[in-house]
Amino acid sequence: MCEIAIVISMSMLAPCAAITRYSVPEEMAAGSVVANLATDLGLDIPSLTERRAKLDSFQSKGYLGINRDTGDLVIRERMDRESICTSKTASCFLKTDVILEDPVRIFNVELEILDINDNAPVFRRKTMRLDVSEATAPGERFSLTNAVDADVGANSIKTYRLSESESFSIDIQTGSDGSKYVDLVLTSSLDREQRGLQTLILTAVDGGTPARSGTASIVINVLDINDNAPVFGKSAYEVNVTENASVGTVVMTLNATDLDEGKNAELLYSYTLYTSEKTQEVFSLDPSTGDIKVKGPIDYEDIQSFEMYIQAHDQGSTPLSGQCKVTVYVVDLNDNYPVVTIKSLKTRVREDVPVGTLIAVVSVSDKDSGDNGVVEISLNHQATLPFVLNKSSEDYFELLVSEALDREMTDRYDITLRVRDRGSPSLGENETIILEILDINDNAPAFPQSFYTIHVPENNAPGALLTSLSAYDPDLHENQYLVYFIMEKEIANTSISMLFSINPENGNLYALKSFDYEIERDFLFHAEARDSGSPPLSANVTVRIVIQDQNDNAPVIVAPWRPQGSVVEEVIPRSADKGHLIAKVIAIDADSEQNARVTYQVLQMSDTSLFSLDQYNGEIRTTRMFSYRDPRQQRLVIVAKDNGEPSLSATVTVKITTVENVLPFSEATEVPIEYDLFTDLNLYLVIGLGAVSFLLLITILVIIVLKCQKPKPKPLKMPPPNRNSVISRNSIISQRSSTIADSTLISSDAYWYSLFLAETRKGKVVVRQPIVPKGAGYFVSSIPRSIGPSEITDSRASTLEVRNLDLGINY
């Protein structure tokens, strides 16, 4: 527990005025007891509570408090002397008043806060940088930034310390207010070349117990003076250079060093007066880099060595220099190159020349003697060439074809003849022969793929580009020029050339007509590409055209039947139950898949609570029974929409009339008949159906007879094919067949509504009229079933159709 020094001074100058002083160290813990006020003020402890003793909180700032139970003056909050007394004074007091009531009495209390060493010295600058020339004389002083300490008295800064240094020391001075100042003193001469940068540590120490300290770095940069001359690594150099060395060849690079820096270390090289003019004509000296380069021709037979005297000087204010001697010895070389001469040469050959064909005759020679004059010749071995060199006589060689040539693989050969002598080092030359390979027609055209499937949307514009059937022929010129044509074929007595066209130059395939998916589904034919070589070569490709369905047919409402633009009328009893079937709307769509998927919706309804419509089967049913408030007539507008994009639709208006009793005959298309009755209506119906069937049979028989009696065309005599001539598209003559191969009639089930729909309703037979949608018919497939999907023709002369059947029965 900390000891507390308490000094009490009391003077009773007046009954209500007294000053009590206490002293405590700063940073005491909250709850610490300063003194017992009851004892020091001569008060009993119960009176503190009775008279509501308290401290003036404004003056005490909340640091002090009174314990009324014990009469102690306690510390409520830790006190920092440096925060309470911002000025650096020796004494720091906290004044407050003790106030008693009944009667009112005030006691003055002063609390002195004693300083403790709780703050370390701090430098305003952590790093101090000084530039000192190496020529500075010893004894020079440099001012340093001093440290500060928030504590006072003995706890403030007492001294400074400097890290160990051979060249510097510190001088500590004391100001009039007792503060310490420090100077850095140069004690010995500096040498930048030995130590250009020095870092010292300055430490400030206070006088507290225990002592606290703070540090700062002193970075000393020693500035250079020109006190060192350039020095070469050697006083004399010897180097070899080969004769005939090319201009610009570096003989050697001189490298002198200077221990100084900056301008004092930047060196320039130059010849001295002792270097001959002949040497300076043959060799150049770079003043900045010290490179000695070949400047003129060097011939060993002219001179065998050169001597150069070179100096290097710095660029200081007072330049210093150093010298050296360089001796260059010339080395004799094999300086005559072998020569190759081409005596006979073929620059072009056909790619079908036989192996062993002579391409060139070459000779070799060298002016040197001995091994330097012995010449070896070879082909460039970096690439495998179909050629070989054979020695025919002394210093003569033949270049022959060793393998079969293929222009499509390589259309040109750069044949490099390499000649080398046996000198040291060996000298050599290269001679290149360029041989061009001429093309022959040995490659047939080739398509990228053997089978093309082309999807064409129906209702296409005539002349639309379908695809490009481009083939490739690796040959050249006329052997590469291709002509395209479609191989003639008939589809249901219609030539394929009437349906499609191909550009003979680029193979672009065009449609010559607009196709209808509901009539024509796909086509299968062959296209051929033929080059213009002699003899011509060709290739063919199979093309399948697939017609894609488009949503171009709106739904057609076939039930309940009504004349064009009229309203369908239905009569039902008012006593009909909930769920009673009123009518069934049936619509068909000539398209396929999603384009033919029909759904039903109510467009208008006079009473939405009375009827319901099934969106998938089109049944109209009652949702409740009729009441006396419901009108006798109801009106519904039904729309049938397909699932195409964009969607197409058709509408029908249904007028529903409710009656008390069902009439034996209504205006609708239904005719109720008793089971045992046979009226005129049934008789007319049977007669009409028989007449239509008879006419249909007669029509089919007539068509068959006409087909059988059609004269067969005489075959055209064609001249024998000429292999040297190019067969064009216009020269192809096709023979049409008078019969349809494996013709198959296919009917569209979606286009037919049942001719007779019988229902049993309350003991009566309901006979409905046959409904045949406009545009329904047959289409003919002319491709044998073994080939694949049917090809659909657009020839109306060969297509069997049944349209607009009308039984002509009047009700």
Kindly report, residue by residue over 529-557, the tens digit of the pLDDT: 998 888 898 989 999 989 888 887 778 88
Tell me what pLDDT residue 236 has: 93
What is the C-alpha to C-alpha distance for residues 365 and 339, in angstroms, rounded to an integer? 5
In the chain, how many H helices and how many E strands? 6, 54
Q: Which run of H or of E encompasses 810? A: none
Question: How many CA atoms lie within 13 Å of 466's alpha carbon, on the beta-carbon side?
Answer: 30
Taking 90 as the threshold, does the pLDDT of residue 293 lie above it?
Answer: yes
Tell me what pLDDT residue 679 has: 53
Average pLDDT, the chain: 76
Tell me what pLDDT residue 372 has: 75
Question: Taking residues 113-139, what's their average pLDDT?
Answer: 84
Nearest to residue 271, comparing CAs of 279, 263, 260? Answer: 279
Tell me what pLDDT residue 724 has: 37
Tell me what pLDDT residue 676 has: 42
Question: Taking residues 425-447, what's their average pLDDT?
Answer: 86
In a 3-state reduction of DSSP, which class is residue 17?
strand
pLDDT confidence band for 308 (50 / 70 / 90): very high
- Give the tokens for residue 192: 């930048």
pLDDT confidence band for 809 (50 / 70 / 90): very low
Give tens-digit pLDDT for 781-795: 333 333 333 333 333
Tell me what pLDDT residue 779 has: 34
Choice among 124-128, 407-411, 560-564, 604-608 with the minimum mean pLDDT:
560-564
Choice among 372-381, 464-473, 560-569 with the minimum mean pLDDT:
560-569
Look at the block and give the residue holding tokens 């589809």: 491
Give the strand order in the sheet containing 412-421.
Answer: 348-350, 428-438, 412-421, 375-379
Tell me what pLDDT residue 250 has: 93
Question: Taking residues 416-428, what's their average pLDDT?
Answer: 86
What is the C-alpha to C-alpha distance for residues 649 and 195, in angstroms, rounded to an integer? 100
**Amino acid identity, position 337:** Y
Question: Taking residues 501-512, what's their average pLDDT?
Answer: 89
Tell me what pLDDT residue 60 has: 63
Taking 50 as the threshold, does the pLDDT of residue 726 lie above it?
Answer: no
Contact 422, 390 (CB under 8 A): no
| Planar angle of CA 74, 76, 81, nearest 5 degrees | 95
Give tens-digit pLDDT for 173-187: 887 777 788 888 888
| Residue 48 φ/ψ, nearest 5 degrees | -65, -40
Taking 70 as the threshold, does the pLDDT of residue 417 lie above it?
Answer: yes
pLDDT confidence band for 57 (50 / 70 / 90): low
Q: Who's near 666: CB < 8 A, 6+ residues apart?
A: 569, 571
91 to 10, 110, 113, 178, 303: CA distances (angstroms): 20, 12, 8, 16, 99
806 to 546, 652, 689, 766, 803: CA distances (angstroms): 34, 21, 10, 20, 9
Choice among 104-118, 203-217, 315-329, 441-455 with the minimum mean pLDDT:
104-118
Contact 40, 23 (CB under 8 A): no
What is the C-alpha to C-alpha distance for residues 185 and 167, in angstroms, rounded to an integer? 8
Strands (E) located in 115-196:
122-123, 127-133, 141-143, 147-148, 157-162, 168-174, 180-186
Give tens-digit pLDDT for 16-27: 445 788 888 877
Taking 90 as the threshold, does the pLDDT of residue 112 lie above it?
Answer: no
Tell me what pLDDT residue 253 has: 93
Tell me what pLDDT residue 256 has: 92
Q: Is the dihedral of CA 516, 521, 524, 527 positive or negative?
A: positive
**Amino acid identity, position 751:** Y
What is the DSSP pairing of strand 19-25 with strand 105-114?
A: parallel
Other C-beta atoms closer than 10 Å to the C-beta of 485 total: 23
What is the C-alpha to C-alpha distance for residues 74 and 694, in angstroms, rounded to an integer? 132
- Give the tokens for residue 84: 């309470």
Tell me what pLDDT residue 731 has: 31
Taking 90 as the threshold, does the pLDDT of residue 730 lie above it?
Answer: no
Tell me what pLDDT residue 768 has: 35
Give tens-digit pLDDT for 613-631: 888 888 888 888 888 788 8
351 to 443, 466, 532, 630, 729: CA distances (angstroms): 12, 39, 18, 99, 31
Other C-beta atoms closer than 10 Å to the C-beta of 262 total: 12
What is the C-alpha to C-alpha distance for residues 265 and 271, in angstroms, rounded to an integer? 19
Give tens-digit pLDDT for 62-109: 778 788 888 888 888 888 777 777 766 667 887 888 888 888 888 888
- Give the tokens for residue 570: 């239905």
Q: Kindly report each contact of residues 696-704 with a partner whose C-beta sits within 8 Å and lies 24 or more positions away, as own/partner.
A: 696/802, 703/800
Taking 60 as the threshold, does the pLDDT of residue 771 lie above it?
Answer: no
Question: pTM of the prediction?
Answer: 0.38
DSSP 47: H
DSSP 91: -
What is the C-alpha to C-alpha distance for residues 608 and 597, in angstroms, rounded to an integer? 26
81 burial (CB, 10 Å; 0-12 / 13-18 / 19+) is buried
**Amino acid identity, position 431:** E
Give tens-digit pLDDT for 663-719: 544 444 444 434 444 455 667 788 888 888 888 899 999 998 888 875 554 444 444
- Give the tokens for residue 252: 């050697």
Q: Who's near 456: CB < 8 A, 6+ residues apart?
A: 464, 466, 511, 515, 545, 546, 547, 548
Choice among 314-318, 345-349, 766-770 with the minimum mean pLDDT:
766-770
pLDDT confidence band for 311 (50 / 70 / 90): very high
pLDDT confidence band for 758 (50 / 70 / 90): very low
534 to 406, 479, 632, 724, 725: CA distances (angstroms): 18, 8, 91, 6, 8
Nearest to residue 750, comparing CAs of 548, 458, 555, 511? Answer: 555
CA 775 to chain CA mean position, Å: 54
pLDDT confidence band for 736 (50 / 70 / 90): very low
